[in-house]
Amino acid sequence: MLTKLSSGDFPPNPLEKEGYRLEFHDEFDRPTLDTQKWLPYYLPHWSSRECSAPNYTLEHSNLVLQITQNQQPWCPEFDGPVRCSSIQTGTFSGPVGSKVGQHLFNKALVVKEEQANVQTYTPQYGYFELRAKGLNTSANLAALWMIGYEDLPERSGEIAVFELVGNRSGAEKSGVRYGVHPWGDSTLRDEFYEDYFAIDTTRYHIYGVEWTPSHIDHFIDNVKIKTIYQSPHYPMQFMLGIYELPFEDGWAGAYDPTDPYPKNFVIDYFRGYQPNDGYKA
């Protein structure tokens, strides 16, 4: 049975949240991206800042992350033809030639370009939400992930707040992926879901998580859709991006070269809160 949520665009929440204090937010109403909050690169240590820089625009108080027709793969040596436009709130890696770096998605990875280690926003626990609309083109994925800052290799778990897959969207129902991946964290187990909801993910909706010391609650449009009874116990950063996986039958569906460009992932705002009374251990 489909979980019924609001049809059409879901309105933004008030900036203030009862029982919580706002500690980080971006309403994307500046003429340029706020680089005090976001690094405009995707895992640059495995590639380079030049190759991993995103395509984006800022318009009508929205951040629009884009895949453009002539965009090059971000890391062809290790990630093949995958194209990506993503921003993040931290980066940690070691010297060139080492295997020290966040999100070791391929065992062959080595650091290609040395980076300064940065933490613009790496909380441990809290409530976080993003209002955005996805897309309905093939082979595309729009996502908000949290990954461990990974200053220690075992601090590498992932909380997928949401993944919106282009070929899973529809006017009457859409698939949303979310959950936990352990990567190098042996205290976590893989727990990942793809559920369908009576929403159109190409319209504005609010996707949120409350990450506590004991569990993670997932929300869509302020309705709790799942509780996951496990939790990473270290600081995590945010990864906000759009991806194109141009394969015959990839993670985001078969690639259709006739789909129009640019592919757009439109973000209205991102907000992070802490409860006034904290979390009980």
Residue 251 binned pLDDT confidence (cut-offs 50, 70, 90): low
Whether a cis peptide bond, with omega within 30° of 0, leads into 235 is no
Q: pLDDT band for 114, please (50, 70, 90 cuts).
A: very high
pLDDT at 249 over 80: no
Rounded mean pLDDT, 142-168: 96
Task: Please check the confidence at residue 111 and state whether its pLDDT lies above 70.
Answer: yes
Burial of residue 196 (CB within 10 Å: 0-12, 13-18, 19+) is: middle
Model confidence over 118-133: pLDDT tens digits?
999 999 999 999 999 9
Give the residue-averaged pLDDT of 10-26.
Answer: 98
Q: What's residue 3's pLDDT?
A: 66
Share of the chain above pLDDT 90, in %: 89
pLDDT in tens, 167-210: 899 999 999 999 999 999 999 999 999 999 999 999 999 999 99
Helix (H) or strand (E) holding 56: strand 55-59
Structural tokens at position 264: 């757009």
Given a contact cutoff of 8 angstroms between Cβ atoms, the answer to whether 6 and 13 are in contact is no
Strand partners, 258: none
Set out the domains of the chain in order of their start, with CATH numbers: 38-259 (2.60.120.200)
Mean pLDDT of the residues in the chain:
95
Instruction: Give the mean model confidence (pLDDT) for residues 244-268.
Output: 83
pLDDT grade, residue 96 (50/70/90)? Answer: very high
Residue 182: exposure state from Cβ atoms within 10 A (0-12, 13-18, ≥19): middle
**Burial group, residue 230, by CB count within 10 angstroms (0-12, 13-18, 19+):** middle
Bridge partners (DSSP) of residue 194 are 177
Task: Compute the distance between CA of residue 66 and CA of residue 248 in angstroms, rounded to an integer.
Answer: 21
d(CA 116, CA 23): 24
With contact defined as beta carbons under 8 Å apart, do 132 and 141 qualify? Answer: no
d(CA 219, CA 224): 4
Average pLDDT over residues 72-85: 96
DSSP 83: E
Structure tokens at 119: 């933490």
Q: Is the pLDDT of residue 1 over 70?
A: no
Alpha-carbon gap, residue 215 to 127, rounded angstroms? 12
Res 115: pLDDT: 97
Residue 281 contacts residue 127 (beta carbons within 8 Å): no
> What does the pLDDT read at residue 253?
72
